[in-house]
Amino acid sequence: MRTLISPARAVELSRSGRTGRVVADGLAEYLSGVDDGVPVHDAVAIAEAVRPGLLDCRPCRIEVDYGPGPSRGNTLVSFLGAGPTTVAVGGDFPVVSEFILERVAGLG
């Protein structure tokens, strides 16, 4: 929720070319009625894959509660010891947003 694309930035993106227009059109419904912007979770994950180190990532263990009851589906994340999973715990989110926008706009 810290990497948002604002309505104004979506307008800029729509003017950057065909790809930017398609992405901005896809965000339009989400942007209607919001002031701050919409999160682009999947794009953040892709940004880290394209440019490793963009986010602060840490090894961890993650367990999901599959049992019956109200905690079903909850996740438990443990940073004690090395784990098989890596999770982003922070980053310079304005830089991440700018990176995503520049990459999409650069596609033409």
pLDDT in tens, 29-70: 999 888 889 999 999 999 999 999 999 999 999 999 999 999
pLDDT tens string 75-86: 999 999 889 999
- The whole-model pTM stands at 0.81
Quickly tell me which residue has 């090395």 as its tokens.
Answer: 82
Are residues 73 and 65 in contact, defined by beta-carbon separation less than 8 angstroms? Answer: yes
pLDDT of residue 92: 94
3-class DSSP string for 42-87? HHHHHHHHHCCCCEEEEEEEEEECCCCCCCCCCEEEECCCCCCEEE
Using the Cα atoms of residue 93, residue 94, residue 97 and residue 102 in order, give the sign of their dihedral.
negative
